[in-house]
Amino acid sequence: MDSLRIRNSFHGFFEGVGHRRVPSSSLIPPGDPTLLFTNAGMVPFKDAFLGTEPPPAPRCVSIQRCVRAGGKHNDLDRVGFTRRHHTFFEMMGNFSFGDYFKKEAIAFAWEYLTKTLGLSPSVLWVTVFTDDDEAASLWQSVAGVDPSRIVRLGEKDNFWQMGNTGPCGPCSEILVDQGSAFSCGRPTCAVGCDCDRYLEIWNLVFMQYDRNDAGILTPLPRPSIDTGMGLERLASVLQGSQSNFETDLFLPLMEAIGKKTRIPYGRGQGEKDFAYRVIADHVRASTFLVWEGLVPSNEGRGYVLRRFIRRAMQFSLDLALPTPFLPDLSRRFAELMAAPYPELAAGMDRVVTVLASEEERFMKTLETGLPLVQELARSARERGETVLTGEELFWLYDTHGLPVDVVGDWAAPLGVTLDTEGFAVRMGEQKEQGRRSWTGSRASFPLPASRLSSPVRFEGYERLESPARLLLLA
């Protein structure tokens, strides 16, 4: 079943049981400074859950664009390592605003999966929150799930919250057992294990509380339902794929990358495949974020976007992709998304211009900065050390405009780590100096020229990264 049919069947099923179809809202939550990006289908309905705004209808269904990078739900560092995590993905969800509650939510989800899509109950497992006896018994009475397939998990897995504050509640997840070939192989591997065997596809949140700044839970005016199912994960199950990256949502993009490199995807070359996955993921995220009006910057959301672009470029080195590659890949992705998002095409010229300009900018940084980091790593190793000192990081940053996290991305494969605390101390000193003297010049680290394999060129980067945002993705 291709992803377009999945989208249509999901909308169709829930419209059939009285839900109003609501289009995806923006990735950039309007008027919500507490949240970096829309990270779940419920985000646009936050005020409706809180009862401060009327919902579009008592029952709604949507397929919401989401980004999970930075903030409470941050999957940036998982992309490529698991078969199931992206930064940008689409969440299919049905919602009840004080209309139906647990019983119907469970019945709808089970019917959709096992009847409409025809998934065998023999591969399905469900989880419930530790003390949610009601949900556990409804799974048996309404869906006929065997008690041995109902697992109780704690707060980490089965209590959902959008952020540190806002609507939240216990939840119940539906998982697909993908078989032992997907297992991490540990004897303890079971439902709740963080590997890919028991793939969580759908989360049913029983929205009951509002959490305030002090962490206190207040019951919501009317208990509601919020559910979320990852389109890419469901596609991978229904298409019998090895991972989300081998579904129709990704494969054409992988092929487009493959045309630009001699290194093919999926030939068991772990590191190269990893690069393919990260690049494809980041192309998807950057395309939509720029399309929604975001531009790369040094702060907040724009910085996350910048980081996607830079990481894609850094991983492109593993595949020896000739630059520029982002514009082509972004256009290919927009073609793939043309059916569900007909509005995408009109904004693509701008998207491509923004991506091309950022790619060109960062290419210069890569060309000058990478040899410096390689050289520092080499001499550290020669000294029998595995750390780049705070002073060295400060020099890279202050004189060459190289942000610490970019250096971190490069350093790991070179076998060195970063003394980020030393760097923070050095940054603090600089700030202090700056306060004392407005006329102070930029400090430079007296690195002996002999330690550098290429002459140091001062590029005069017009922008310096703010220390505040260095912590953003920490």
Residues near ligand ATP (CB under 6 A), total: 17
Report in angstroms how near the CB of residue 116 gets to ligand ATP at its nearest. 17
Phi, psi (5° rounding) for residue 60? Answer: -135, 155
- For ligand ATP, what does the binding mask look like between residues 74 and 113, x meaning CB under 6 A? -x--------xxx--x-x----------------------
373 binds, among ligand ATP, Mg ion, none (CB under 5 to 8 A by kind): none
Using CB under 5 A as the binding criterion, the count of chain residues that bind Mg ion stands at 2
Among 3, 39, 203, 243, binds Mg ion (CB under 5 A): 203
Q: How far is the CB of 17 from Mg ion (least distance, A)?
A: 23
Residue nearest to Mg ion (CB): 203
Contact of 82 with 107, CB cutoff 8 Å? no
- Phi, psi of 452, deg, nearest 5: -110, 135
Give the length of the chain. 474
> Taking each helix axis from N to C terminus, what angle separates 270-291 and 251-258, rounded to the nearest 10 degrees?
110
Q: Which is nearer to ligand ATP, 233 or 331 (CB)?
A: 233
* Contact (CB, 8 A) for 126 and 139: yes
Contact in structure between 272 and 319 (CB atoms under 8 Å): yes
Q: In this structure, are residues 291 and 344 in contact, taking their beta carbons and an 8 Å threshold? A: yes
CA dist., res. 345 & res. 414, Å (int): 40
Closest by CA to 193, choosing from 84, 68, 39, is: 84
User: Between residues 203 and 241, which has the closer beta carbon with respect to Mg ion?
Assistant: 203
Closer CB to ligand ATP, 307 or 426, in the complex: 307
Closest to 259 in 3D by CA, of 319, 305, 213: 319
- Residues 38-57 close enough to bind ligand ATP by CB under 6 A: 40
User: Tokens in use for 337?
Assistant: 């998304």
Nearest-angstrom CA–CA distance, 96 and 301: 30
Q: How far is the CB of 232 from ligand ATP (least distance, A)?
A: 5
Encoded tokens for 415: 């076998």
Nearer to ligand ATP, 41 or 58 (CB): 41
Residue 24 interacting with Mg ion (CB under 5 A): no
The residue among 282, 281, 264, 286 whose CA lies nearest residue 273 is: 264
Report yes or no: 45 and 55 within 8 Å, Cβ to Cβ: yes
**Binding residue for ligand ATP, selected from 55, 163, 169, 230, defined by CB under 6 A:** 230
Segment contacting ligand ATP by CB under 6 A, of 196-204, 269-277, 353-361, 393-401 = 196-204
Tell me the three state secondary structure of residue 220: strand
Q: Which of 46, 102, 197, 233 binds ligand ATP (CB under 6 A)?
A: 233
Q: Is 311 in the site for ligand ATP (CB under 6 A)?
A: no
Least separation, in Å, of the C-beta of 84 and ligand ATP? 6
Task: Please report, as ranges, the residues that interact with ligand ATP according to CB under 6 A.
Answer: 40, 68, 75, 84-86, 89, 91, 200-203, 228-230, 232-233
